[in-house]
């Protein structure tokens, strides 16, 4: 009865809590300086819009992480949702990157008029941004200011939320574990990795070594031989396990082999959705990098090389350093084209394996 009454009373404003939501833009220039600086409203609105979208991205990433916490086949049966939600995350990133243009309608001098009222607040203290980095899989040891960023969160609630984001498995961890468990790996007497290495060496022989043998120009021949030896090393090194996560290598050899298998045989029905998932993971990673790049370019034009008002960092130079591979989430997946080759060289899948990949397993049906 009371529930019905509540629904009847529901109004657009109350459902969206607009009364409180639209009261949250409080310019510091008015509060501290006594005079409103017009562009401060835009500055606040833009940041709040970003934070709201960060929240939505976190909702999507948390739900995807939750789905990955299950057995291989269960995750496989949820792949459609994983793909759709990652697609949504990519769409949000594209939108928020565009949002920077609106803030850029403010000139550096307009910004100077209220910047010092913001002291000592900084985007460096954005808890949601840190959670996003951690939940996607930014590696703690590869961060700059890896301790200082945590010190910005003083109250117990923020500390707990941040610690949870650091200590729970990231999306990158979960994807790695899933890829390691692809049931068809080394199945049916087919060793994909060894077969792929052999095929890759045959391809480099056909396209680099054999032409080098017929090359008359000694200098060119030498360069081709160097390239041939380099390619042979690449394929060995790429699939060695790493002891420590680096800017270029994070995944285990087994997981990387799983990703390679999905990429090569993506036309097999059971690999269709996983292939889309891998594509979206790379896209989200690239979009996060693009966010950083767009932000730092705007910061450079807005404040030059001044430090942030909170003295959290050196400002531009620090932000530029975060646009590096150290902050990448899936460098192994992004690097994969380094050792791809034309389809005609792909090892043939045994017929029994093809059959296994023909039927999408769905534990719920
Ligand atoms: C006039 C516009 C802006 C300026 C001048 C600016 C400046 C800066 C500076 C100097 C830093 C480095 C940390 C520090 O020393 O304070 C920083 C970090 C950051 N800013 Fe901005 N920012 C602007 C707009 C934005 C917007 C719209 C957002 C959206 C939420 C944002 C989010 C962040 C985040 C998340 C960081 C931390 C990045 C990291 O540590 O990798 N900033 N910003």
Determine the distance separating the centroid of ligand 1 and the alpha carbon of 124, expressed in angstroms.
6
Q: Report how many domains make up the chain.
A: 1
- Residue-wise pLDDT tens digits, 214-225: 999 999 999 999
Q: Is 111 in the pocket of ligand 1 (CB under 6 A)?
A: yes
Q: Is 95 a member of any domain? A: yes
Backbone angles phi, psi at 362, to 5 degrees: -135, 105
CATH number at residue 160: 1.20.58.480
Ligand 1 center–CA 224 separation, angstroms:
46
Residue 299 near ligand 1, beta carbon < 6 Å: yes
In a domain, 365, yes or no: no
Question: What is the number of alpha carbons within 13 Å of residue 177 lying toward its C-beta?
Answer: 14
Measured in angstroms, how far is the CA atom of residue 16 from the centroid of ligand 1? 28
- Please report whether residue 1 resides in a domain: no
Inside any domain, residue 83: yes
Total length of the chain: 365
Ligand 1 center–CA 285 separation, angstroms? 19
Are 354 and 186 in contact, with CB atoms under 8 Å apart?
A: no
Residue 356: strand, helix, or coil: helix
Q: Which of 122, 109, 123, 106 is nearest to 39 (CA)?
A: 106
The verdict on the CB of residue 99 being under 6 Å from ligand 1 is no
Pocket lining: 313 vs ligand 1, CB cutoff 6 Å = yes
Q: Mean pLDDT across the stretch 235-254?
A: 88
Ligand 1 mean position, distance from CA 128 (Å): 13
The reply to whether 8 falls in a domain is no
Can you give the pLDDT at residue 14?
A: 94
Residues 6+ apart with CB under 8 A from 58: 128, 131, 132, 135
Query: Ligand 1 within 6 A of 322 CB?
Result: yes
Question: Distance, CA 36 to ligand 1 centroid (Å)?
Answer: 22
Q: What is the pLDDT of residues 69-110, one digit of tens each?
A: 998 888 889 999 999 999 999 999 999 999 999 999 999 999
Distance CA 8, CA 159 (A): 40
Q: Is residue 223 part of a domain?
A: yes
Q: Is residue 4 part of a domain?
A: no
120: preceding bond cis by omega (within 30 degrees): yes
Q: Which atom of ligand 1 is nearest to the CA of 51?
A: 30
Which tokens belong to 294?
A: 């767009």
pLDDT for 188 beyond 70 = no
Compute CA distances 292 → 58, 63, 227, 279, whole Å.
17, 24, 34, 20
User: What six digits make up the tokens of 274?
Assistant: 């996983």
Which atom of ligand 1 is the closest one to the Cα of 122?
A: 16
Q: CA 358, CA 137: separation in Å to the nearest integer? A: 32
Closest atom, ligand 1, to C-alpha of 100: 27
- HSE at residue 364, side-chain half, CA atoms within 13 A, is 7
Percent of the chain residues topping a pLDDT of 70:
95
| C-beta atoms surrounding 102 within 10 Å | 12
For 267, the token pair is 């036309």
Containing structural domain, residue 78: 21-358
Is residue 231 a part of any domain in this protein?
Answer: yes
Q: State the pLDDT confidence band at 275, using cuts at 50, 70 and 90.
A: very high
């Amino acid at each position: 009865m009371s529930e019905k009454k509540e629904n009847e009373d529901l109004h657009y404003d109350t459902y969206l809590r607009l009364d409180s939501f639209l009261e949250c833009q409080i310019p510091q220039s008015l509060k501290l300086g006594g005079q409103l600086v017009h562009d401060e409203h835009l500055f606040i609105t833009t940041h709040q819009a970003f934070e709201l979208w960060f929240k939505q991205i976190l909702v999507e990433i948390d739900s995807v992480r939750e789905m990955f916490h299950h057995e291989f086949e269960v995750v496989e049966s949820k792949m459609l949702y994983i793909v759709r939600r990652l697609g949504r995350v990519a769409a949000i990133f594209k939108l928020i990157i565009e949002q920077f243009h609106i803030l850029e309608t403010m000139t550096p001098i307009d910004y100077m008029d209220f910047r010092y009222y913001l002291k000592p607040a900084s985007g460096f203290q954005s808890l949601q941004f840190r959670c996003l980095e951690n939940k996607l899989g930014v590696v703690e040891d590869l961060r700059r200011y890896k301790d200082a960023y945590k010190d910005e969160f003083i109250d117990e609630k923020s500390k707990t939320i941040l610690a949870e984001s650091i200590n729970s498995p990231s999306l990158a961890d979960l994807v790695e574990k899933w890829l390691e468990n692809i049931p068809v790996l080394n199945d049916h007497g087919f060793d994909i990795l060894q077969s792929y290495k052999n095929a890759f060496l045959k391809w480099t022989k056909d396209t680099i070594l054999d032409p080098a043998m017929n090359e008359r120009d000694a200098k060119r021949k030498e360069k081709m031989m160097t390239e041939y030896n380099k390619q042979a090393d690449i394929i060995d090194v790429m699939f060695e396990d790493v002891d420590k996560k680096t800017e270029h290598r994070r995944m285990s050899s087994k997981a990387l082999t799983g990703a390679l298998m999905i990429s090569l045989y993506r036309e097999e029905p059971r690999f269709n959705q996983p292939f889309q998932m891998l594509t979206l993971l790379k896209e989200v990673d690239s979009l996060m990098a693009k966010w950083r790049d767009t932000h730092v370019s705007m910061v450079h034009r807005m404040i030059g090389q001044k430090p942030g008002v909170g003295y959290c960092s050196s400002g531009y130079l620090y932000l530029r350093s975060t646009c590096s591979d150290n902050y990448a989430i899936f460098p192994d997946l992004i690097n994969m084209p380094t050792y791809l080759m034309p389809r005609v060289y792909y090892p043939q899948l045994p017929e029994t394996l093809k059959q296994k990949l023909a039927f999408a397993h769905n534990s719920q049906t």
